[in-house]
């Protein structure tokens, strides 16, 4: 977990614990309500909750590289990240086996095929052209991987790995390299470097080149923050709505708070699909911009 995320998580947990103590003090009787459990779907830890208890994840000795210490022990988010990858592989193998038996898909295979065709025909080709078909496997992997991680966070005892900014940053770094690779393959390395000048006079290169290089990093940064914020925000809204019951210390607001919290939880199901689609669509769009520049350069050279 990176420091900024740890500070945010610790702050949320502290706030939730404070609210729980206030609720306990207001009630005067009964056991303390563990309000911080509402954050279990997004906060990271060294243990995984299961029915009637939890199990501790293994702890490994940190690696020391020079003066840097790297903790390689798995956390809850890492556990569900790996679980999502395993589910994706198993699901892919299952769908492939169904196609070997029959070319007419049914059930899960039919739903899987619909999503595959949607990503290919409505995301990849419109944004990248026919040349984008070669990148469809990457886009499909990104879409289903993010979707599964988002969906796992909505089930009991699950955790949303995409609410960890380190996870979204990893996805964004992969997207960054794919964006550059697709641009270089379409433009050629020479034209790719020339594109960083923005087509302006060489006297302006000291200004334009840093701006263009900065622009290369703002795209994946936006992907990282967008996914992280959206997958965290829904749980924070639910936490706030439930907290109204203890803020007003009245059961009168309880039905309204619970009803709105239930509505937000249902909305989270839609957001899980939406954010997987948005991340995949924006990645294909950014890749398409570089490929488009390559096609325009090719047409321009042929016209002369």
Q: Which two tokens stand for residue 296?
A: 């325009």
Residue 16 pLDDT exceeds 70: no
Residue 84: HSE in the Cβ half-sphere, 13 Å Cα cutoff: 25
pLDDT at 49 (0 to 100): 83
Phi, psi dihedral angles at 270 (to 5 degrees): -70, -40
Phi, psi dihedral angles at 142 (to 5 degrees): -60, -45
More confident residue, 239 or 6: 239
pLDDT at 39 (0 to 100): 67
pLDDT at 287 (0 to 100): 93
Q: Among 24, 20, 23, 22, which residue's Cα sits nearest to residue 34?
A: 20
Please, which residues have CB within 8 angstroms of residue 244's CB and are 6 or more apart in sequence? 253, 257
Query: Predicted confidence band at 24 (pLDDT cuts at 50, 70, 90)?
Result: very low
Over residues 32-89, the pLDDT tens digits come to 445 555 566 677 888 888 887 788 888 888 888 888 888 888 899 999 999 999 999 9
- Classify 141 as helix, strand or coil: helix
Residue 12 pLDDT exceeds 90: no
Cα–Cα distance measured from residue 14 to residue 264, given in angstroms and rounded to the nearest whole number: 23
- What single DSSP character describes residue 73? -
Task: Please give the average per-residue pLDDT across 219-230, as a whole number.
Answer: 93
Number of domains in the chain: 1
96-105, 253-262, 277-286, 289-298: the lowest-pLDDT one: 289-298
Q: Please, is 172 exposed, middle or buried when counting C-beta atoms within 10 Å of its C-beta (0-12, 13-18, 19+)?
A: buried
Query: Predicted confidence band at 201 (pLDDT cuts at 50, 70, 90)?
Result: confident
| Continuous segment of H or E residues that includes residue 63 | strand 63-65
Q: Which two tokens stand for residue 193?
A: 């470097």
Q: Among 95, 77, 101, which residue's Cα sits nearest to residue 162?
A: 77
Over residues 250-263, the pLDDT tens digits come to 777 888 888 888 88
Q: Is the pTM of this model over 0.85?
A: no
Q: How many CB atoms are closer than 10 A to CB 245?
A: 20
pLDDT at 154 (0 to 100): 84
Domain of residue 239 covers 3-303
pLDDT at 8 (0 to 100): 46
Residue 229 pLDDT exceeds 80: yes
pLDDT at 296 (0 to 100): 55
pLDDT at 273 (0 to 100): 93
State percent of the chain over pLDDT 70: 83
Residue 243 pLDDT exceeds 90: no
pLDDT at 40 (0 to 100): 67
Residue 6 pLDDT exceeds 70: no
Alpha helices in the chain (DSSP H): 3-27, 76-101, 108-118, 125-128, 136-152, 165-187, 189-195, 205-248, 254-303
Counting every residue written for the chain, the total comes to 304
Rounded to 5°, angle at Cα 68 from 64 and 72: 55
Residue 145 pLDDT exceeds 80: yes
Instruction: State the pairing for strand pair 63-65/47-50.
Output: unpaired
Cα–Cα distance measured from residue 32 to residue 92, given in angstroms and rounded to the nearest whole number: 45
């Amino acid at each position: 977990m990176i420091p900024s995320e740890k500070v945010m998580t610790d702050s949320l947990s502290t706030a939730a614990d404070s609210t729980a103590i206030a609720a306990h003090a207001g009630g005067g009787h009964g056991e303390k309500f563990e309000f911080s459990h509402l954050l279990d779907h997004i906060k990271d830890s060294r243990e995984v909750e299961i029915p009637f208890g939890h199990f501790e994840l293994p702890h490994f000795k940190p690696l020391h590289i020079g003066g840097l210490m790297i903790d390689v022990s798995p956390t809850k988010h890492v556990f569900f990240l790996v679980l999502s990858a395993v589910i994706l592989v198993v699901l892919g193998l299952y769908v492939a086996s169904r196609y070997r038996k029959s070319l007419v898909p049914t059930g899960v295979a039919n739903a899987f095929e619909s999503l595959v065709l949607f990503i290919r025909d409505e995301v990849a080709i419109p944004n990248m052209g026919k040349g984008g078909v070669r990148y469809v496997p990457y886009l499909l992997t990104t879409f289903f991987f993010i979707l599964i991680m988002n969906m796992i966070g909505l089930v009991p005892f699950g955790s949303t790995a995409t609410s960890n900014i380190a996870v979204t940053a990893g996805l964004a770094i992969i997207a960054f390299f794919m964006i550059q690779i697709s641009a270089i393959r379409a433009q050629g390395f020479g034209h790719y470097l020339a594109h960083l000048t923005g087509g302006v006079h060489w006297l302006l290169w000291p200004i334009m080149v840093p701006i263009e290089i900065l622009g290369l990093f703002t795209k994946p940064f936006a992907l990282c923050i967008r996914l992280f914020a959206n997958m965290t925000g829904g749980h924070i809204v639910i936490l706030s709505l439930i907290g109204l019951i203890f803020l007003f210390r009245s059961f009168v607001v309880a039905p309204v708070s619970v009803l709105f919290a239930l509505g937000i939880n249902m909305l989270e199901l839609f957001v899980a699909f939406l954010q997987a689609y948005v991340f995949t669509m924006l990645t294909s769009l950014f890749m398409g911009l570089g490929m488009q520049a390559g096609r325009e350069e090719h047409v321009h050279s042929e016209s002369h």
